[in-house]
Structure 1
Amino acid sequence: MTTDTAPRITSWHAAPSVPAFTPPPGAVDAHCHVFGPMAQFPFSAKAKYLPEDAGPDMLFALRDRLGFSRNVIVQASCHGTDNRATLNAIARSQGKARGVAVVDPAISDADLEALHTGGIRGVRFNFLKRLVDDAPKDKFLEIARRIQPLGWHVVIYFEADILEELRPFLDAIPTLVVVDHMGRPDVTQGPGGTDMKAFRALLDSRDDIWTKVTCPDRLDAKGPPWDDFANAVRPLVEDYPDRVLWGTDWPHPNMQDAIPNDGALVDMIPRIVPTAALQQKLLVDNPMRLYWPDC
């Protein structure tokens, strides 16, 4: 549990490089967050970390520096089910942001509608025990059924060692599903390793399961240039080109001990997505289809 007097942490690079890779026009950073500002949007009493403020102005400045046009802002666990910081960032984006919320299972239909009006297009279910204390599958499925009429999808975050346990739950979700960070496979196993084979089996089980090919900084313990990540992930993108998304994960929650350079993260893109056609799908066509279908 955090308190207002607990030490606050910084998990983002103070001066990220301008990437050598130029994203295609209209590119979307489809996985990022905002923290606070705490004075306006206090963090949850159940939060496992207490970050320094990383608000909309910082996010949009980074977006421009990296050469992107839009953001999908995913509710950070430190804000719990209070989505006001995310909604505030979307409202300040001039139409260039959408969001993914975390909601209390008891949320009313009217409040779901209000979230939709505010730019939310999905809900996130987190199964990382170090970040959340409770992940009730039955209540999550009820939420998934209730968001279906809004056209929303489910974003789910888990680690590879519980994928088999989660399969019945994943099979029961009635909406499109987006898996964060490929379910955190062990990329040292390579593209044909046990973790990636199990994840491919999940993708093959339904054509409405997508994934974010993100976070070499989290998944490749050897660090830059993240060769194991590139080797493991490139074949996945090539085989599922219409179901992949990409994002910076800025401001990199819980990465304060190994803060990645966002410019270097962008420069990883051509290593996992080698052609202009695939880059267009990953960075523009797929996220626009999911988050701005009316554009």
Structure 2
Amino acid sequence: MSLDANGRVRSWTLDSSKPRYVPPPGAVDAHCHVFGPAVEFPFSPNAKYLPQDAGPEALFALRDRLGFTRNVIVQASCHGTDNRATLNAIAKSAGRARGVAVVDPAISDAELEGLDQGGIRGIRFNFLKRLVDDAPKDKFLEVAKRLPAGWHVVVYFEADLLEALRPFLDAIPVPIIIDHMGRPDVTQGPGGADLRALRQLLDSRGDIWTKVSCPDRLDAAGPPYDDFVAAVGPLVEDYGDRVLWGTDWPHPNMESRIPDDGALVDLIPRIAPAPELQRKLLIGNPMKLYWPEVIVP
């Protein structure tokens, strides 16, 4: 574990490998974060972890090294509902980043409009108890009804919560993205209970998407992440029009087993072997959600 002088942890490698796989031009890393810099954008007093700074310059350098064109920056829980670090990164991206915010459900319509002007295109509801103290479903639904046009909701939960969350998810009136497939047990394989439940959710509505991401979190066996590939590949094949991919850089809370981002990119053709699937996963699907005004060739 790498600690700085203030006891803050680093969860990402400083020397990511260059991936062998070359993403198609225009590819989007649809799930990443920024941390701070804390001197400018302090962490929330309720933060469950205190990471070292991982600002926009580092993110965009990694984007270029990995061969991507755009980023979707998801508000990190360590910043709470203060979205300034995310907005700062979007503003510095020259139009190549959009974002997902975390908001107080009592946020005003004017504040939501301000986030929209800043490049935010969705809000995130987090149900991981180790990261958040309170997840009021009724208040979440109220704010979901007031989102600017074209926005969606991102929901993060663990697989054992999905059945209990179904009435809540069914009531969300805008498109939904499930973070990291709801953290299934990939050792169950593609036909296991966790992925069957996710498929049932995807089948229930045509506007539910999922991120086929985070093998480093989901595959306890580690590289080369064979359990993840075996479980997730069929999902990408069957739901090719509703899957997204992201690095999850800088990998919050992964300081004990920091992944190599280049190796994560090299998994893409293993879960999406066909070039057309890769284009949907990396370009068509994320562009539809985050840059709908751009015509994708």
> Residues 215-234 of structure 1 correspond to what in structure 2 (within 5 A)?
215-234=214-233
1:146 is matched by which residue type in structure 2?
R
| CA shift digits 1:130-168 (9 cap, x unpaired) | 000000000000111000x42200000000001000000
Residue 198 (structure 1) aligned with residue 197 (structure 2) = yes
Unpaired stretches in structure 1, ≥5 consecutive residues: none
1:235 corresponds in structure 2 to 234
1:28 corresponds in structure 2 to 28
1:104 corresponds in structure 2 to 104
Counterparts of 1:8 and 1:150, CA distance in 2: 38
Q: After the TM superposition, which segments of 4 or more aligned residues of structure 1 sit over 6 Å from their partners? A: none
Residue 140 (structure 1) aligned with residue 132 (structure 2) = no
Counterparts of 1:33 and 1:286, CA distance in 2: 19
Deviation at 1:6, TM superposition (A): 6.1
| CA shift digits 1:43-96 (9 cap, x unpaired) | 000000000000000000000000000000000000000000000000000000
Deviation at 1:194, TM superposition (A): 0.6
8 Å contact kept, 1:6–1:50: no
Counterparts of 1:273 and 1:195, CA distance in 2: 20
TM-score, reference length from structure 2: 0.97
1:277 corresponds in structure 2 to 276
1:125 is matched by which residue type in structure 2?
F
1:183 corresponds in structure 2 to 182
> Residues 44-63 of structure 1 correspond to what in structure 2 (within 5 A)?
44-63=44-63
| Residue aligned with 2:146, SS | helix
2:67 is matched by which residue type in structure 1?
G
Deviation at 1:22, TM superposition (A): 0.2
Counterparts of 2:268 and 2:143, CA distance in 1: 34
Deviation at 1:7, TM superposition (A): 1.8
Counterparts of 2:258 and 2:211, CA distance in 1: 20
> Residues 143-182 of structure 1 correspond to what in structure 2 (within 5 A)?
143-147=143-147, 149-182=148-181
Counterparts of 1:150 and 1:52, CA distance in 2: 35
TM-score, reference length from structure 1: 0.98
1:31 is matched by which residue type in structure 2?
H
8 Å contact kept, 1:157–1:179: yes
2:80 corresponds in structure 1 to 80
Deviation at 1:128, TM superposition (A): 0.1
2:7 corresponds in structure 1 to 7
Change beyond 3 A, Cα 1:164–1:6: farther
Identity of aligned residues (%): 76
2:250 corresponds in structure 1 to 251
Counterparts of 1:209 and 1:228, CA distance in 2: 24
Q: CA RMSD in A?
A: 1.0
Deviation at 1:114, TM superposition (A): 0.4
Unpaired stretches in structure 2, ≥5 consecutive residues: none
8 Å contact kept, 1:116–1:150: no
2:122 corresponds in structure 1 to 122
1:263 corresponds in structure 2 to 262
| Residue aligned with 1:146, SS | coil
Deviation at 1:106, TM superposition (A): 1.1
Aligned residues: 291
